[in-house]
Amino acid sequence: MTKRTLPTLDLKRGYARIKDEIDVAVKEVFESQYFIMGPTLSAFESDVERYLEVPRAIGCASGSDALLLALMALDLKPGDEVITTPYSFFATVSCITRLGATPVFADIDGDSYNVTAESVLSKVTERTKAFIPVHLFGQMVHLEKMRSELEGKGIAIIEDCAQSFGSWREIDGAPVRSGSYGVMGCFSFFPTKNLGCCGDGGMVVSRDQALADRLAKLRVHGAGTTYYHDEVGLNSRLDAIQAAILRVKLRHLDRWNEERRAAADRYKLLFAENDLLDLVTPPSEDEGNYHIYHQYVPRVQGDRDGLVDFLGKEGITSRVYYPVPLHLQRCFSFLGYGEGDCPVSEKLSRQSIALPIFPELEADEQEWVVSTIARFYGKN
């Protein structure tokens, strides 16, 4: 008898729902033989511009490149400082150090896992050139509490939206999409994202036309016209096949995000029904936020790593995002940070666990996950 298993994300289930649409879209690209740049990419960029209500969207090769291109467009140089979070994926900070600039870490809120205005503003110096907020796990940072002060000092806000395509926050009585509030927004289309392609892919959006024009050149080796290079850029293009796939998926994204939200609500109810709320703290959704639950990450008491192992032995995959905060990573030791410098991030790195969540997740599978957690804690 085959052992029952559950991954954190089941891409096969998602593909099965839209297989016919994907097949048609990819076939059209092959029939056109227009694989790099071209009309399919332009059409997807236009789709994103309408969805996010931004003037320009520029496809690129990955979310990591999106961040790097954004900082290159700001002419970041050695000696410049960029404020960001220590509780994120590696690319959030590597893009800063690759250009010789200095990351400055602002600690996070223990409920939302996002940086706070207070922590960010306390880190501003005369050398601060940019701030990279990460809309972690699918909900937005409270940017309205700091944008005026930061931009008043000439500090650019570059939103890291790798985990938040489709999320929004109510600001001044209106919904503001992730990526549309700062001067630039950077997205990843890695296959596991809420809007994911079938390979690597990324995008930078901007409300500044001059920056957008420069980004469009930087992604093609800095060339304004083919073989005429204004500066040294990157070879970082979103190919037409990935753009075609993303056009299809974008049409379904809002429904999928609603299904993720329903799964998150169900987890919270199940934790309560299994008398686990003293041991498992569900992720919070800040007032005014539309959380899309790219990951479902509660905090747990006791032996978190033991729980991960216990779930795995039962066939349930869980993950830890992130086991070592960025300020404590060996490669960034030259920055001089140590234990205790970002205490909330450090605490969460010991307590957080990512449980399975995806649009097609079944109620009985969630019941299995939560009942297994209850058994680990001796609740049943």
Per-residue confidence at 320, pLDDT binned at 50, 70, 90?
A: very high
Q: What angle is formed at CA 97 by the lines to CA 67 and CA 234, rounded to 5 degrees?
A: 50
CB-based contact 58:52 (threshold 8 Å): no
- Residue 49 and residue 62: Cα distance in Å, rounded? 18
The residue among 233, 230, 236, 211 whose CA lies nearest residue 221 is 233
CATH number of 187's domain: 3.40.640.10
pLDDT over 90 at 114, yes or no: yes
Domain boundary among 247, 282, 309: 247
User: Does residue 264 lie in a domain region?
Assistant: yes
CB-based contact 84:108 (threshold 8 Å): no
Q: What is residue 180's three-state secondary structure?
A: coil
Per-residue confidence at 91, pLDDT binned at 50, 70, 90?
A: very high
pLDDT tens readout for residues 265-281: 999 999 999 999 999 99
Name every residue whose Cβ is closer than 8 Å to that of residue 242 and which is 6 or more positions away in sequence: 189, 197, 198, 199, 200, 201
Residues 184 and 322 in one domain: no
pLDDT tens readout for residues 362-380: 999 999 999 999 999 998 7
Residues 258 and 243 in one domain: no
Residues 359 and 228 in one domain: no
Q: b or e along 36-45 (b: 16 or more beta carbons within 10 Å of the residue's beta carbon)? A: ebeebbeebb
Residues 225 and 258 in one domain: no
User: Does residue 296 lie in a domain region?
Assistant: yes
Residues 240 and 345 in one domain: no
pLDDT value at residue 183: 98
Domain boundary among 207, 228, 247: 247
Q: Provide the residue range defining the domain that includes 103.
A: 11-247
Residues 34 and 105 in one domain: yes
The residue among 267, 250, 288, 63 whose CA lies nearest residue 166 is 250
pLDDT over 70 at 167, yes or no: yes
pLDDT tens readout for residues 177-235: 999 999 999 999 999 999 999 999 999 999 999 999 999 999 999 988 888 898 999 99
Per-residue confidence at 171, pLDDT binned at 50, 70, 90?
A: very high
User: Does residue 30 lie in a domain region?
Assistant: yes
- Residue 123 and residue 119: Cα distance in Å, rounded? 7
Domain boundary among 247, 280, 309: 247
Average per-residue pLDDT for the chain: 97
User: Does residue 307 lie in a domain region?
Assistant: yes
User: Does residue 4 lie in a domain region?
Assistant: no
pLDDT over 70 at 54, yes or no: yes
217 in active site: no
pLDDT over 80 at 1, yes or no: no
pLDDT over 90 at 361, yes or no: yes
Residues 326 and 298 in one domain: yes
Residues 90 and 207 in one domain: yes
Total domains present in the chain: 2
pLDDT value at residue 269: 98
Query: Six-digit token pair at 80?
Result: 């410049």
Residues 80 and 213 in one domain: yes
pLDDT value at residue 286: 97
Residues 184 and 229 in one domain: yes
- Residue 82 and residue 125: Cα distance in Å, rounded? 10
User: Does residue 2 lie in a domain region?
Assistant: no
Q: Which of 27, 153, 193, 268 is catalytic?
A: 193
User: Does residue 3 lie in a domain region?
Assistant: no
Amino acid letter at 134?
A: V
pLDDT value at residue 227: 87
For the segment 101-108, the average pLDDT, to the nearest whole number, is 98
Residues 229 and 261 in one domain: no
CB-based contact 48:203 (threshold 8 Å): yes
Residues 230 and 123 in one domain: yes
